[in-house]
Amino acid sequence: MDAVKRFQKAGGTHLVLSHLPYHDLREWDEKGYDPIYERTLSLAEKAEEATDVEIYVTLGPYPVDLVNLKDKVGLERGKEILMDGMKLAADYVEEGRAVALGEIGRPHFEVSDKMKDSSNDIMRYGMELAADIGCPVVLHTESTDPETCEEFGDMADQAGLSRDKVVKHYSPPLITYEENKGLFPSVLASEKNLRAAAEKGDRFVMETDYIDDPNRPGAVLGIKNVPRKTKKLLDEGVFTEEQAWKIHKENPEDIYDIDIEL
């Protein structure tokens, strides 16, 4: 609640809360992802009640869950659990309680070929579900470059999901089509990234990847960074008002099929 209050005080009006796992609820085999997703949704509801910020939620089985499950129940059973979690997340989207499947994808560190193949199968399944219900996916993967963007774009093509509906979380400023291959970059809001992105256009959104971990205060970037840096770069003429409007209103409306009222 305090983090969202800080966001609002800095000028923030709307945000996306992406689901992450909770270690005390990691009993997937018995209870599935229901209690994990419900906690994320509850946090969003409480923060909205405590502030004037409108919060949109993305839900999906966090890719690194498969690494932990492999040691507990084996890779095949772990894969089944994540796929069940993906289907449940899609149900939440259809009910209007979430706007996207995410963060889904594959571990951001090196894993075995079998683990990577299983993760790709789960990610592809998520894209297929997203195509069926008409929602985007938010991808958590290793560092992005044009080659990996093309790989994920090919997956989306095979699943029948528009590349415009594939949001690459934690993206560097890969703004042109030649760089992102049609995926939608969610650019980490460091000043260096934003200045580079602004030089190339306005087809991106901004994120902090703020985790709100008491043991890592401010990680990855503080929640106030997006509104504060937007204002700063507007004042300096790095962003035009038209760019800022596109980045913060029109782009998320198009991606998530939402109506941002200001």
Q: pLDDT at position 30, please?
A: 67
pLDDT category of residue 253 using cuts at 50, 70 and 90? very high
Contacts 24+ apart (CB under 8 A), 229-237: 229/189, 229/191, 229/194, 230/11, 230/206, 231/11, 232/191, 233/191, 233/194, 233/195, 233/198
Length reported for the chain: 262
Q: pLDDT at position 29, please?
A: 60
Bridge partners, 171 (sequence order): 187
Q: pLDDT at position 252, please?
A: 98
pLDDT category of residue 226 using cuts at 50, 70 and 90? very high
Question: In angstroms, rounded to a whole number, what is the distance separating the alpha carbons of residues 103 and 87?
Answer: 14
Bridge partners, 56 (sequence order): 16
User: Does pLDDT of 28 surpass 70?
Assistant: no
Query: Tens digit of pLDDT for each residue in 198-223?
Result: 999 999 999 999 998 888 887 899 99
Under a CB-based contact definition with an 8 Å cutoff, are residues 256 and 99 in contact? yes
Q: pLDDT at position 214, please?
A: 82
Which of 109-123, 137-151, 203-217 shows the lowest mean pLDDT across its residues? 203-217
User: Does pLDDT of 26 surpass 70?
Assistant: no
CATH architecture of 2-256: Alpha-Beta Barrel (3.20)
Task: Provide the mean pLDDT of the chain.
Answer: 95
Q: What φ, ψ does residue 205 adopt, rounded to 5°? A: -120, 175
Q: Exposed (0-12), middle (13-18) or buried (19+): which is 174, by Cβ within 10 Å?
A: buried
pLDDT category of residue 27 using cuts at 50, 70 and 90? low
Is 95 strand, coil or helix? coil
pLDDT category of residue 32 using cuts at 50, 70 and 90? confident
Under a CB-based contact definition with an 8 Å cutoff, are residues 81 and 71 in contact? no
Pinpoint the alpha helices (H) of the chain: 2-9, 28-31, 34-50, 65-73, 75-94, 113-133, 146-159, 177-180, 191-200, 225-235, 241-245, 251-256
Is 50 strand, coil or helix? helix
Q: Exposed (0-12), middle (13-18) or buried (19+): which is 159, by Cβ within 10 Å?
A: buried
Query: Tens digit of pLDDT for each residue in 155-200?
Result: 999 999 999 999 999 999 999 999 999 999 999 999 999 999 999 9
Q: pLDDT at position 165, please?
A: 98
